[in-house]
Amino acid sequence: MRVSADDHHWPGCHRAHCTLHSAGDPAAVARRHRWKVGTRLEGDEGYGVTRITITAIGERSILARGSQIRDGFLRCYPEGSWVLSSRCWRR
């Protein structure tokens, strides 16, 4: 299933709690959603689904590792800092 092409939200997204354009630092967003170390998320900016696993939640930042299939190629993201406000993330 894909995000809708026009606004990149997952079907059924509750916009009020959406991570896209959300205020607050990534750790606050994660806490608000009760996401923890080990939580797996998926998001899509319209170029293919990115899947990440949270590996650390700091005071302001979060770390995650993940992968994305883009144009048929698997792209791996080693652990790094993620900003959660650029995609509509869901579990």
Instruction: Find the shortest distance in angstroms from Cβ 36 to Zn ion.
Output: 20
Nearer to Zn ion, 13 or 54 (CB): 13
- Our CB check for Zn ion shows the closer of 3 and 62 to be 3
Nearer to Zn ion, 18 or 63 (CB): 18
CB 90, min distance to Zn ion, A: 8
Q: How far is the CB of 56 from Zn ion (least distance, A)?
A: 24
Q: Which residues bind Zn ion (CB under 5 A)?
A: 9, 13, 18, 20, 88
Q: How far is the CB of 34 from Zn ion (least distance, A)?
A: 17
Q: Smaller CB distance to Zn ion: residue 4 or 79?
A: 4
Q: 23 Cβ partners below 8 Å, 6+ apart?
A: 85
C-alpha–C-alpha distance, residues 65 and 58, integer Å: 15
